[in-house]
Amino acid sequence: MSDVTQPRRRIRAQASDRDPTAMRFLLDSDIQPGQSARFTAAEAGSAPLAEALFAIDGVAQVQVSGASIHVRRVDGADWAALKPRIAEAIRTVLDTSDHPLGAAQAHRDDDARILSRVQDLLDRQANPAIAAHGGSVRVDRVEKARVYLRFAGGCQGCAASSQTLREGIETMLRAALPEIAEIIDVTDHDAGVNPYYTSDDGPSPKLMRPVPATVVDRSEGELRIDPEFLARRLGLTPDTLSAGLANGDIERHVETRAGQSGPITRVAVFAPTRAWAADLHDDGRIFEVPPPRRSTPEKAQDQTLADRLRAHLARLGPEEIPITYGALARGVGLYLPGSVRKVTAALETTMREDAAAGRPFVAAQVVNRHSGVPGQGFFDLAEQLGTPLVPDPAVLARYRQGLPARA
């Protein structure tokens, strides 16, 4: 009998920008296909993965969905010490157990199994789209293979929600679970207000297709999309994609908005003949979405960004000034490579506006992270505009004191 060495599982740890006590551990495949679960220490029960993680001192809560394990630590625990122990526990359980979330979870009765699968599908493929329009849908119960759904938020009271159920959610659920006998809407729509289909002028929400977490790298404050994946979506080769991004033939837009469970970052890429877009949720989930309309021409984009930068700088407290170009880019939702270049171009727009109005340059508040002063382009343009400045931190600090007081 020969020994076969099992490949070491790849696990990526991803910190939360909003919650320092939370960390996501991403794998390349589902933990237990078709199953998701949430555990506290008291609820670990017979789930091997939960038992192994709660055996680690400092783990407070565990949530599993798809290929993602979301772990919350207790106050005072150190991620530097916890991360390697958590990763090793995950590998050990997945290498030794066929049912890391528990055998009972895998052998529940048919109705309970259907309920779990339906809710998981709704959470991963329907609710991210619906939440962006103020609504949600959940499983109320399952009886004899009949699935009862309840809409909430913007969906409640919306006459179009029955159409959404029939044309979108029902199609998705029946394709994934043909054993479903009937799908029934039990929402009290008479009690609902503000239907999400009329909440704005944009398109009605559509179901979204999950994207593997490995496609997007959000490390080091930037967003990087796997070029081979993106090239396939745009019908290009990776080399053509790279060249188009470099020469401007292919555009990238990123914006961040508030979602029901945290910020959602939308990435849109426009090639000459195709476009692609995805929503990146704060918990690490990624969904392809219908691409938005191509935005305004570049000059109008620069003006819009200049206004956003000016407004963002006005909201910062004195202790947050000066701010680096990279931090400012992230502050207005720009993460992709090249974002700093867009920010500096828009800051030049603010400088021309300020010079025309006889105001101090708001751009003086933004500095290079290494030198602690604005980039050379700032000083060159300031001189062209008749307000020469020197790259001296003390001089610039006094200059910034002349800017309008913040509200």
More confident residue, 94 or 130: 94
Q: Please choose, from the candidates 128, 62, 117, the residue with its C-alpha nearest in 3D space to the C-alpha of residue 261.
A: 128
Whether the pLDDT of residue 198 is over 50: the answer is no
Q: How far apart are CA 40 and CA 297, in angstroms?
A: 51
Confidence of residue 195 (pLDDT cuts 50, 70, 90): very low
Phi, psi of 277 (to 5 degrees): -145, 155
Please report, rounded to a whole number, the percentage of residues in the chain having pLDDT higher than 90: 14
Confidence of residue 206 (pLDDT cuts 50, 70, 90): very low
| CATH number of 110-198, picked from 3.40.50.740, 3.20.20.300, 3.30.300.130, 3.90.1150.10 | 3.30.300.130
Whether the pLDDT of residue 298 is over 50: the answer is no
Phi, psi of 115 (to 5 degrees): -60, -45
Phi, psi of 64 (to 5 degrees): -120, 130
Least confidently predicted of 42-51, 187-196, 284-293, 375-384:
187-196
> Would you state the pLDDT for residue 289?
77
> Would you state the pLDDT for residue 274?
79
Q: How far apart are CA 192 and CA 74, in angstroms?
A: 39
List the structure tokens of 15.
Answer: 């910190």
Domain boundaries along the sequence of the chain = 12-102, 110-198, 213-289, 298-400
Least confidently predicted of 180-184, 185-189, 337-341, 350-354:
185-189
pTM score, whole prediction? 0.34
Least confidently predicted of 66-80, 147-161, 305-319, 341-355:
147-161
More confident residue, 367 or 42: 367
Average pLDDT, the chain: 78
> Would you state the pLDDT for residue 260?
66
> Would you state the pLDDT for residue 221?
63
Whether the pLDDT of residue 295 is over 60: the answer is no
Q: What is the mean predicted confidence (pLDDT) over 371-398?
A: 88
More confident residue, 165 or 383: 383
> Would you state the pLDDT for residue 1?
35
Helix (H, G, I), strand (E, B) or coil at 268: strand
The DSSP bridge partners found for residue 213 are none
Whether the pLDDT of residue 18 is over 80: the answer is no
Which class does domain 12-102 fall in?
Answer: alpha beta
